[in-house]
Amino acid sequence: MAENKTVKFIISRQETPDSAPYTEEFDIEYRPNMNVISALMEIRRNPVNAKGEKTSPITWEMNCLEEVCGACSMVINGKPRQSCSALVDQLEQPIRLEPMRTFPVVRDLQVDRSRMFDSLKKVKAWIPIDGTYDLGPGPRMAEKKRQWAYELSKCMTCGVCLEACPNVNSKSDFIGPAPLSQVRLFNAHPTGELNKAERLEAIMGDGGITNCGNSQNCVQSCPKGIPLTTSIAALNRDTTFQGFRNFFGSDSI
Amino acid sequence: MAGNREFFYRRLHSLLGVIPVGIFLMQHLVVNHYATGGAASFDKAANFMGNLPFRILLETVIIFLPLLFHAIYGLYIAFTANNNVGRYGYFRNWMFMLQRVSGVITLIFVAWHVWETRIAAAFGTEVNFQMMENILSSPFMFWFYVVGILSTVFHFANGLWSFLVSWGITITPRSQRITTYVTIILFVALSYVGISALVSFI
Ligand code: SF4
Ligand code: FES
């Protein structure tokens, strides 16, 4: 009985960034413990659709295969998630795969997440330590705080939270939850804190934090369980004070 | 502040929704509640409010200008969202969508309400119990007012919740959950005040 058990896939396909998407169905032979990527690899090995016609292999991205790089994100049965950790046994069939259309589609399931990396640059999601001489060791971080910060540092820029957000779309230039939470991470670091105001001012610019409409889909969707809405609310408080400082001036340096 | 206009406008929008517009809404509903005491008691209260010193100035600065800004900028915010409750049916996402829908309904309702009462008053009609009684004698208008009041009160109560998040007052999930309950109670209480006043006109 196990021999001829198949899994049905309905996959959204698109030849070029501007061409119209269409769907194609595939019947893949079932193997125990399959994930979505192994099914896509199977199609790549033998690109024949459910009608028995020869077709082109499907394009998608992947890298780590253990849900830490974020590259393989796609919309699986209506929800954005990583295809490497999406197990066929746990999915309702037919399995529908679509690209995360919040981002420009490159081809089939592959999207261009550049905007997220641009946002990380915009908000200065790093700690500047380069100089012309050795600056010495930075201040120590309390272990408890380090553990807390570690949770925020798990973000893999996968884009799921942007896909889930109703305010990230072509009508708005909202940078989305992920880069905001990174601001909180770097501002919490004892050395990163030195550039706190710069990062806050970056997210007070256009497309910044005030575009959040509190739908809180992001925190429900993040595969890494990052407390995105808590980060955003905390940054709301920080930007409130930063706004007052900018407007009235401040005697603290 | 000039450099980050969007930040300033969004925060101003959030602030004006509560102070003064939200405060005015509560005051308005409470004063209307005099209607439950009969025509004379309502007319007395309406008279007092209508004859406050500097009325035109107060109305313009405390009500019309903030309301106008909140309404126009709010429309812009509402139409930049791509609602997705079909895919993400979480409670807060529903509230997000309803906040936008109730905002638009409230805008239509308030525009009509202002037209029917204040503009008419400017042309000499007296705002009193009789006026409301006439308006609400039509079943359509009665239900229009019911929907309008509920939508306005919802928009205020849920907006207050967002206000607390947007200004960084409630940060933790627990504090946000508690204010969810508090704003639900506020919604029920203000709806009661508004609807009971409405019913006493018929
Ligand atoms: S915050 Fe979570 S959902 Fe958003 S990009 Fe990072 S890992 Fe993905
Ligand atoms: S391949 Fe890296 S997260 Fe799936």
**Domain identity same for A144 and A89:** no
Domain annotation covers residue A17:
yes
Mean pLDDT of B84-102: 97
The reply to whether A104 falls in a domain is yes
Q: pLDDT, tens digit, for every residue of A19-66?
A: 999 999 999 999 999 999 999 999 999 999 999 999 999 999 999 999
The 3-state secondary structure of chain B reads CCCCHHHHHHHHHHHHHHCCHHHHHHHHHHHHHHHHHCHHHHHHHHHHHHCCCCHHHHHHHHHHHHHHHHHHHHHHHHHCCCCCCCCCCCHHHHHHHHHHHHHHHHHHHHHHHHHHHHHHHHCCCCCCHHHHHHHHCCHHHHHHHHHHHHHHHHHHHHHHHHHHHHCCCCCCHHHHHHHHHHHHHHHHHHHHHHHHHHHCCC
Is the pLDDT at B74 greater than 60? The verdict is yes
Q: How many domains is chain A partitioned into structurally?
A: 2
Across the range A130-145, mean pLDDT stands at 88
Please tell me the predicted confidence (pLDDT) of residue A253. Answer: 63
Q: With CB atoms and an 8 Å threshold, state whether A239 touches B84.
A: no
Specify whether A107 is located in the same domain as A71. yes
CATH number at residue A71: 3.10.20.30
Q: In the predicted model, is pLDDT for residue B2 greater than 80?
A: no
Whole-number mean pLDDT of chain B? 94
Domain boundaries, chain B: 2-201
Straight-line distance from the first to the last Cα atom of chain A, in angstroms, rounded to the nearest whole number: 74
Do A136 and A218 belong together in one domain? yes
CATH of domain B2-201: 1.20.1300.10
Q: Which residues of chain A lie closer than 8 angstroms to B163, CB-CB?
A: none
pLDDT at A40: 97
Answer whether A157 contacts ligand 1 (Cβ < 6 A).
yes
Taking residues B114-131, report their average pLDDT.
84
Q: Among A65, A60, A53, A102, which Cα is nearest to A80's?
A: A102
Contact state of B1 with A243 under an 8 Å Cβ cutoff: yes
B120 pLDDT tier (thresholds 50, 70, 90): confident
In this structure, the answer to whether residues A22 and A41 fall within a common structural domain is yes
Tell whether A1 is covered by a domain. no
Is A76's C-beta closer than 6 angstroms to any atom of ligand 2? Answer: no
Domain's final residue, options A66, A96, A111 = A111
- Residue A168 CA to residue A174 CA, distance in Å, equals 6
With cut-offs at 50, 70 and 90, classify the pLDDT of residue A3.
low
Cα of A218 vs centre of ligand 1, distance in Å, is 8
* Domain hosting residue A78, numbered range: 6-111
| Statement to judge: residues A22 and A128 lie in one domain | no
pTM over 0.90: yes
CB contact under 8 A, B82 and A235: no
8 Å CB contact of B81 and A213: yes
Q: Does B77 touch chain A (CB under 8 A)?
A: yes
Index of the ligand 1 atom closest to the CA of residue A157: 5
Does one domain contain both A16 and A90? yes
Full DSSP string of A81-135: EESTT-BGGGS-SSEEEE--TTSPEEETTEE--HHHHHHHHHTT-S-----SS--
User: Which ligand is closest to the CA of A76, given by its number?
Assistant: 2
* Residue A146, domain CATH: 1.10.1060.10
Cα B39 to the center of its chain, rounded Å = 24
Nearest CA to ligand 1 atom 2: A222
Residues A166 and A214: their CA atoms lie apart, in Å, by 10
Query: Average of pLDDT values for A199-226?
Result: 97
Q: Select from A57, A83, A111 the last residue of a domain.
A: A111
Could you tell me if B47 lies within 8 Å of chain A, comparing CB atoms? no
Provide the pLDDT confidence category of residue B99 given band limits of 50, 70 and 90. Answer: very high
